[in-house]
Amino acid sequence: MTLTLAQLSLACPDQLWLEFSESAQEIALPVTQDYSYEAAHHRAFLNRLTLAVLLPEFSAASETSVQLASSENLWEFVTGFALNLGKSRLVIIPSETIDTDELSVPQEWVDIPELAADYYLAVQVNLEDGWLRVWGFSTHRKLKTEGRYDAGDRTYSLDVEDVFDRLNTLWVSLKLCQGEKAFIESLPALSSNQIERLLAELGKPSLYSPRLKIPFAQWGALLAADNSRQELYQRRLGKVPFLQNIVKLGKNIFPDGWLMFDELVQACNVNLSLVRSGARSRDNEDRTPGISRGRVIDLGIQLAGNSVALIVHFTQESENKRNILLQVHPGGGKTYLPPDVELIVLDDAGDVFLEARSRSADNWIQLEFRGEPGERFSVKVALGDASIVEGFVI
């Protein structure tokens, strides 16, 4: 005999029981193309449904505004979503499991400072009967210090008897605004080179999440940054962001922002004599007259307000061979580039093809290679955590 929701609620009155309709399930279904494999698609569906059902209830129960604090691209890799309630943060972990004998939370939600929360809520979802229940919660401190850590699947777990089951206790704690986080170790800073290599390794589409393929410290650092997580997500979907505003070298089609040399002088105060010297440094043989353009690259506070210029020299060497020379020059009237400016060429799959890094007294850095008509590549200019990517087709 199937019990009604009212009967179930009477059995566990301290828990939150909510119904949802078939139409709510249909609305929660994400577009198939939004996730790279079936398990991620279903995970996204379960999280979207849970969010849609809980958000109105939490908004009514809370004295402060309730806001979604996590991105849907996370569901490509891990389950759960975060809500901000005033100064407190909740992570909701939905599951279809019948046996609610433990609360199990992916390590990403516990050990990545940008994702960690004050409280973790366990939600059981019954799709067949159309209901869900919030059956317990834990603080970050309790989960981190008392939970079992499983290195095999990278989760923290608490047995049901160690989980708070009275939801009213949560609302009282939220009103008191008590900090409930344990100490979280900082994750390592990844260089742009490391990020590119990890994106190339993990960004290939597969039938499972890549979260266990590399050490957690690297994985956590990659997932913590919105831009690298979004790029990893798009690569797994086969979407290459830089192709949206691609420069078509063979047709001499440059989008707005690409300038002639004399225009670069005005826009970026680039030393024109150094640019011309750089161009002449590879013109020791007769070549078909080519195309040269430059773009101002602003890496923000990393360059203390100064810009650099990315310059492209493109020439046709034969019917099927094209020569591409890439250079990065200092702007702001400077003679030398700052140390550790990186110039990286990525192939069509997103793998690092060539790379160069400035030293303490470099007038410019450059990379040169040959390609065939129709080939695609991208160029990344980076300094520290700041970077910009441009896409090209020969």
pLDDT in tens, 173-220: 887 766 788 999 999 988 767 887 888 889 888 889 999 999 999 999
Mean pLDDT, residues 326-344: 88
Mean pLDDT, residues 345-367: 87
Q: Is the pLDDT of residue 63 over 90?
A: no
Share of the chain above pLDDT 90, in %: 44
Mean pLDDT, residues 231-236: 88
State both tokens at 351: 């793998």
Taking every pair of Cα atoms in the chain, the longest distance, rounded to a whole number of angstroms, is: 88
The answer to whether the beta carbons of residues 58 and 85 sit under 8 Å apart is: yes
Residues of the chain with CATH 3.40.210: 5-176
262 versus 132: the higher-pLDDT residue is 132
Query: What pLDDT was estimated at residue 301?
Result: 59
Query: What pLDDT was estimated at residue 87?
Result: 85
Query: What pLDDT was estimated at residue 191?
Result: 78
Least confident of 129-133, 254-258, 307-311: 254-258
State both tokens at 344: 């990286």
For domain 5-176, the CATH class is alpha beta
State both tokens at 392: 């090209």
Mean model confidence pLDDT for the chain: 86
Q: Is the pLDDT of residue 283 over 70?
A: no
State both tokens at 359: 């030293």
257 versus 378: the higher-pLDDT residue is 378
Q: Is the pLDDT of residue 105 over 90?
A: yes
Helices 226-236 and 192-202: angle between axes, nearest 10 degrees: 30
Q: Is the pLDDT of residue 243 over 50?
A: no
Share of the chain above pLDDT 70, in %: 87
Q: Is the pLDDT of residue 343 over 80?
A: yes
250 versus 223: the higher-pLDDT residue is 223
